Copies of this chain bind each other. A is one copy, B any other.
Amino acid sequence: MTKSPVSRAKSGPFWEFLEGRLPAPPAAAMLGWKLSWVEPDRGEIEVFFDAHEGFSNPMGNVQGGFLAAMLDDTLGPALVATLDADQFAPTLELKVSFLRPAAPGRIIGTGRVVHRGGSIAFLAGELTNEAGDVLATATATARIIRPAQGF
């Protein structure tokens, strides 16, 4: 299936950023985050990361924690794409399984909303390399808030 990068633009900072009218959040910029495609109606997203040498462990592979950061920045945006402009979704819990060592370079993240209730969402996704090997998988739980409500 051919997917357009943004199937249905909505309002809010996430879409302003995707359309180039707001700078990337610092954490996303550091991870080399780029949108491949997003399907807000289904809560699905594919993104690209640029894992640079600065993320390496002593073995020369990407440190697992940076893979966790990439997964958080894949699963989170899958949910954020479904939200209203004034909603935000801090992650409550993130569980990552590290399947293979990850070399620096392009890493592809796919994320999806598995279930969304009124204020809690369950998310899942994975990272692959350009050869299609799954590097790491994750599940997460997020809470949907309006920032004025606090955490």
- Interface on A for B, CB 8 Å cutoff? 13, 25-27, 29-31, 53-59, 62-66, 68-73, 76, 88, 90-98, 100-101, 147, 151
Contact = CB atoms under 8 A, between A and B. Distances in A.
22 contacts: A25-B56, A25-B57, A25-B63, A26-B55, A27-B54, A27-B56, A27-B57, A27-B66, A30-B55, A59-B147, A64-B76, A64-B90, A65-B68, A65-B94, A69-B69, A90-B101, A92-B97, A93-B98, A94-B95, A94-B98, A95-B96, A100-B151
A54 B52 CA distance: 15
A13 B68 CA distance: 24
A55 to B, nearest CB: 5
